[in-house]
């Protein structure tokens, strides 16, 4: 899945001191991200371990996706677009439901990883992705450098990755895919710091405007922010797996 860039508010730098509202908002964002990762992980393990479930989404002989497999693969992208386009119209409960469904379907889609890659390398790449994500999140939160100017550049990089991936679907070059994976890790690593700083600014904006964490808008913003970080993490993990993963 590719990163979606949602502009929640102006990218101007806030200089007010961070208060309780901002910190609670930031904590809620990471809480929802953790929930999404937990749902995806559980769905991937369940789909891979329960007999007969994996055969519903992937042909056992050819290992190619079935119709349900293609639905599970492309439905999460549609749900991301739905969340972005319907942010202003959807209620918090509806948005949360779509977010959980997105996490569930993506986990089902990613279950095939355990078919093609050795479990040890999957775990190692997941831990490495968590480490990279954690370091960049810390840097994005603590740095005083304005990262907003890098946003357009990073979005161009994401679009470039998408176009290159589509082209490689026809070329089928494993070497080209390998090279793209390094760019993918670099782009989404940088996006992590960028998104974390943007989320911090959103929290500061809520603080400045006197909004409470329990308000409908703030809760919806937390879900969308969690989605951005979730996509950053998943993409780092997947690109690392392409580079370092040991196939069966």
Structure tokens at 131: 């480490």
Give the pLDDT band (50/70/90) at residue 69: confident
- pLDDT over 60 at 6, yes or no: no
Query: 151-195 pLDDT, tens per residue?
Result: 999 999 999 998 998 898 888 888 999 999 999 999 999 999 999
Q: Rounded distance, CA 164 to CA 155, Å?
A: 14
Q: Rounded distance, CA 207 to CA 240, Å?
A: 37
Closest by CA to 30, choosing from 196, 177, 145, 193, is 196
Contacts of 231 (CB under 8 A, 6+ apart): 1, 2, 3, 4, 80
Structure tokens at 24: 């609670």
The whole-number pLDDT of residue 208 equals: 67
Q: Pick the residue with more confidence: 49 or 1?
A: 49
Query: 55-66 pLDDT, tens per residue?
Result: 777 776 676 778
Domain boundaries, the chain: 20-244
Contact 242, 8 (CB under 8 A): no
The whole-number pLDDT of residue 2 equals: 45
Query: CA-based Rg of the chain, rounded to a whole angstrom?
Result: 19
């Amino acid at each position: 899945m590719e990163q979606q860039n949602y502009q929640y508010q102006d990218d101007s730098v806030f200089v007010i001191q961070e208060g309780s509202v901002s910190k609670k908002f930031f904590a809620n964002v990471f809480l929802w991200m953790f929930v999404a990762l937990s749902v995806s992980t559980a769905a991937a393990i369940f789909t891979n371990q329960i007999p007969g479930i994996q055969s519903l989404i992937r042909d056992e002989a050819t290992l190619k996706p079935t119709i349900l497999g293609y639905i599970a693969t492309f439905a999460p992208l549609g749900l991301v677009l739905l969340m972005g386009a319907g942010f202003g119209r959807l209620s918090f409960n509806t948005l949360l439901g779509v977010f959980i469904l997105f996490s569930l379907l993506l986990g089902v889609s990613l279950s095939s990883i355990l078919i093609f890659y050795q479990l040890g390398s999957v775990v190692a790449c997941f831990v490495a992705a968590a480490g990279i994500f954690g370091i960049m999140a810390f840097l994005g939160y603590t740095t005083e450098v304005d990262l907003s100017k890098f946003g357009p550049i990073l979005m161009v990089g994401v679009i470039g990755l998408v176009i290159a991936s589509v082209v490689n679907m026809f070329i089928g070059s494993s070497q080209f895919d390998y090279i793209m994976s390094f760019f993918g890790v670099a782009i989404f690593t940088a996006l992590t710091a960028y998104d974390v700083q943007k989320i911090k600014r959103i929290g500061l904006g809520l603080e400045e405007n006197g909004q409470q964490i329990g308000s409908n808008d703030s809760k919806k913003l937390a879900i969308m922010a969690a989605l951005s970080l979730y996509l950053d993490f998943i993409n780092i993990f997947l690109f690392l797996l392409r580079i370092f993963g040991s196939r069966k």
